[in-house]
Homo-oligomer: A and B are copies of this chain.
Amino acid sequence: MTSPTLHDVAKLAGVSFKTVSNVINDHPHVAEATRIKVEAAIKQLDYRPNRSARSLRSGRTGAIGLAVPELSLSYFAELADEVISYAEQRDTVVLIEQTGGDPERELEALRGSRRQMTDGLLFSPLGLGNDDADKLDVGFPLVLLGERIFDGPVDHITMENVDAARAATDHLLDAGCRRIAVIGAHTGEVIGSAGLRLSGYRAAIEARGIPYDERLVVDAGPWHRVNGAETMRTLLERDVDFDAVFALNDELALGALRVLNERGIRVPEQVAIIGFDDVDEAQYSLPSLTTVDPGRREIAHIAVDVLLERIGAGSDAPPKREVRSGFRIVQRESTPAVTR
């Protein structure tokens, strides 16, 4: 019942166990005849090297961590999907941790005992912010994702949030919208997805001579659908005129869309709406949702590549990297076809 070891294979092949090890590790000096004999024995016993022993000897686990707020959020589920699939191609397993966006649990992800089981971590914080940048100076390979921390001492993969938000806003402006509301802001935040995207919005409207009107900007807590709905209700109660909504992510947009539908407000004729993230669901809402594709797959692949590169590098570490993925606007039904 117990798994075969190098010794079992060696006995069957009639060589020393170290020779079997040499065959497995493509050691330069192995006679062809020996190699064939050993490989036959390996196959016969269905031998697989014991990973714990390998890890103990080499100090590598072959696993990486992925710490995200929660998988129930489509963005992170889809990101995890991409990370797992790509990591598999690179012979790496992924250990997912959910932090709930709680700063304490995010710190725990950095320090906790789970770090013993991985060679490095892909970390997407939500509770921690730029003030916590120094806490990222950990003793293991770490790649930071997202927009919460920019001044960290580690590799960072993100997207051009400001430019993308500006492009999203321009998309609405090009369609003729002039009073564009924003839902999902986090007042006072400068960096972070909310802060960056809001500043992209502001840059876009001001470039066209439209003044920033804070009555059009509504805060929301977590970016869940339910808050999108709530925020849209708040906006409608403010009794301020608007002809478009820029939702800072798709979940908010989908929640808002539901309220607009409920109230009989036609989208995009009366109010256009654009989201951000291009989650799978954006294709299937009614109307389908125009949104920003942040290059999720590209981010996942780059993140895994950078992390594995750093793990492989050991002490002669390359300098810190800052990578931004591309983005594109995905035009669907929730905004008018561009007229300009």
Contacts and interface: CB of A to CB of B under 8 A. Distances in A.
Contacts of A50: 56, 116
Contacts of A139: 1
Copy count, this protein chain: 2
A258 B285 contact: yes
Interface string A81-114: 1001100100001111110000000000000011
Interface of A: 1, 48, 50-53, 55-56, 61-63, 70-72, 74, 77-78, 80-81, 84-85, 88, 93-98, 113-114, 116-117, 139, 225-226, 229, 254-255, 257-258, 261-262, 280-281, 283-286
A56 B52 contact: yes
Contacts of A281: 225, 281
Contacts of A113: 48, 51
13 contacts: A1-B139, A48-B116, A52-B56, A53-B56, A71-B77, A71-B84, A74-B74, A93-B95, A226-B283, A254-B284, A258-B286, A261-B286, A286-B286
For the complex of A and B, list the 4 residue pairs with the smallest distance between their C-beta atoms, beginning with the closest.
A77-B77, A52-B55, A52-B56, A71-B81
A139 B71 CA distance: 31
B84 A96 contact: yes
Given A51-B116, A61-B52, A97-B84, A284 B225 contact: yes
Contact of A96 (B80, B117, B283): B80
Contacts of A258: 284-286
A286 to B, nearest CB: 5
Contacts of A93: 95, 114, 117
